[in-house]
Amino acid sequence: MVLTDPIDPRNDCLMKFKIFAAGLGMILGVTVFFVFTFQMQNYHAGLWALLSFCLSTIVLHQHLLYRNYRLEEWHTVASLTSLRNLGILTLLSSTGATIYYFYFVIAEHQPLYPLRDSYMLGGVWSFMSWKWSMMTVFFSQKYKKILDREYTLF
């Protein structure tokens, strides 16, 4: 009789995809920050890309800690709750910014070019910040529950 091990969720293809996506979010966020802020002088898009970079870094760090069984060494339930609350705060601000940018683009019929003055790029990167805010909220809550379940004595 051969016993099969259940697939370890810490090392399956979905976890590898999550790590890849968060790493890609980091690379794109920091690249867009430097290009849009310093080369194109579109500070709206550049600063939202920087926030997107920071949030994807938080998500990547959580995934790597969970995958390597080190989540409890870095975080407590309270620290993951704080990260979740930070995600909620950035979710609210990026939601408002995304709505504002796209409303302004539509209402004022603003063209995409010149890129320096384009609110469309700010809207796209505030939406990317919204996405990473959602991921920060979701995974902070998920890992908080896991930490609470697996590492609480009582």
Q: What does the pLDDT look like over 65-113, one tens digit per residue? A: 999 989 989 999 999 999 999 999 999 999 999 999 999 999 999 888 8
- The three-class DSSP label of residue 112 is coil
How far from the centroid of its chain's Cα atoms is residue 60's Cα?
8
Tokens 């870095």 -> residue? 74
Please report the sign of the dihedral spanned by the C-alpha atoms of residue 43, residue 48, residue 51, residue 52: negative
φ, ψ dihedrals at 111, nearest 5°: -75, 165
Question: How many CB atoms within 10 Å of residue 73?
Answer: 8
Tell me if 110 sits within 8 A of 123, measured CB to CB. no
* pLDDT at site 10: 83
pLDDT exceeds cutoff 60 at 3: no
Both tokens assigned to 42: 């579109």
User: What tokens appear for 103 in the block?
Assistant: 């409303």
Confidence of residue 122 (pLDDT cuts 50, 70, 90): very high
Q: What is the pLDDT of residue 11?
A: 85
pLDDT over 90 (residue 153): no
pLDDT at residue 5 tops 70: no
Q: Distance between CA atoms of 32 and 46, rounded to whole angstroms?
A: 6
Q: Residue 6's pLDDT is what?
A: 66
SS3 content of the chain, % helix, strand, coil (to 5): 80, 0, 20
Residues 9-18: what's their mean pLDDT? 90
Q: Which residues, including other chains, have CB under 8 Å from residue 51's CB and lie 6 or more apart?
A: 90, 94, 129
Task: Look at residue 55 and tell me whether its pLDDT is greater than 90.
Answer: yes
Q: Give the ranges where 43-118 is alpha helix by DSSP (H).
A: 43-67, 71-74, 77-108
pLDDT exceeds 80 at position 30: yes
Say yes or no to pLDDT of 16 above 70: yes
Q: pLDDT-based confidence at 151, cuts 50/70/90?
A: low
* 6-10, 126-130, 146-150: range with lowest mean pLDDT: 6-10
